[in-house]
Structure 1
Amino acid sequence: MKYVKADWDEEGHGFRVDAQEYLAVLPTLREMLPGGAWAFVSDAGHYAFASERCVKDLELTNICLPTKTANSADGSGAASLTFSPNRWKHTRGLRIEYADVTHFSIDYARSIDWMESITVLLDEVLPYGAGGGAGITHEIELTDATIRVQCADLTATWEEAVE
């Protein structure tokens, strides 16, 4: 991630997370981010750790990727991620749907075997392309991996938890 910090602290045996630099830059990105992405990252609770609408600590539960079809020979299309609420913090889960996906990757840079689930540390949405008009990149730092999505826009929906 370019502005958001989410690093493993060997000495402290935990993660250091900080979105302050991204929050300082965020207003300058307003005109370059499409509507869904802007609504998601500019939500007042997105980076407020005590907020129910903060992405930190959500648990990754499902990944739905685009595949090659008759309508999409290159595999681009829609993708989605589903996150369950952390029982100590959230009452709702989060579903993110990506439109016109051109890149999706998961990088397992570390393995933390004492974690019960893969949880979100923080995320960052940035424009890509000339003048920011081509779409966005969404990077999500998880406890065990990093997800990177390049797409036209995203839609984030807070949903009731499925029991």
Structure 2
Amino acid sequence: MKYVDLDARVGELTGVLDPGPYLELLPALSTSLPPGARAFATDPSHYDLTGRRCVKDLALHQATFLHEGQALDLRLRHNCWKHEEDLIIRYAGVATVQISTPNEPSTWDNLGTLILDEILPHDQGCTHEMAFRPGSVIVTCNDITATWVTAHCPEAHGD
């Protein structure tokens, strides 16, 4: 990540997640983002670490390439104790996808839980970097559409 700090320090406490440096630059960066990526990145709840629509603590459930690899859908499953919705991210005009995990081969299955993400302008449109425990994904594409969909979570609601 270029601006989101996944290992910030607050006093003596280390390992704190700090999207602050990214959020300070986001108003200027967002003018160069494609419309869908801009809407997703600038959503006020995106980086509200205790909010129900913060990406933190989502888990990758499914990755599907569409239209001969030109589009990619990521389905991220809710955390029952925090979220009430799942997140579907569609990447249009996919140029590259980089998956990195400590274990080889790096696959979608080895990524774990989402920590935070960062969306930046790119000549192709934008990049979306997602830090997982213990891996990461970087997608370069023309634009992003993020859709929250209702999830059934009986553990959190006593159903």
Among 102, 114, 119, which residue is 2:113 paired with? 119
Partner of 2:79: 86
Q: CA deviation at 1:5?
A: 1.6
Question: Structure 2 vs 1, CA of residues 135 and 41 (structure 1 numbering), >3 Å: closer, same or farther?
Answer: same
Once the two structures are aligned, what percentage of the paired residues are identical? Answer: 41
Give the structure-1-normalised TM-score. Answer: 0.80
Partner of 1:22: 22
Partner of 1:50: 50
Distance, in Å, in 1 between the alignment partners of 2:118 and 2:89 is 13
Q: Which runs of 5+ in 1 are unaligned?
A: 70-74, 112-116
Q: Equivalent residues in 2 for 1:65-84 (5 A)?
A: 65-66=65-66, 69=68, 75=69, 77-84=70-77
RMSD: 2.5
Distance, in Å, in 2 between the alignment partners of 1:162 and 1:99 is 28
Corresponding residue pairs, total: 144
Does 2:86 correspond to 1:96? no
3-state secondary structure, aligned to 2:52: coil
Question: Structure 2 vs 1, CA of residues 150 and 57 (structure 1 numbering), >3 Å: closer, same or farther?
Answer: same
Give the structure-2-normalised TM-score. Answer: 0.82
Deviations 1:21-40 (A, max 9, x none): 00000000122001100100
Q: CA deviation at 1:66?
A: 4.8
Aligned residue type for 1:106: I
Deviations 1:43-98 (A, max 9, x none): 1100001110100001111111357x4xxxxx4x0001111110110000100000
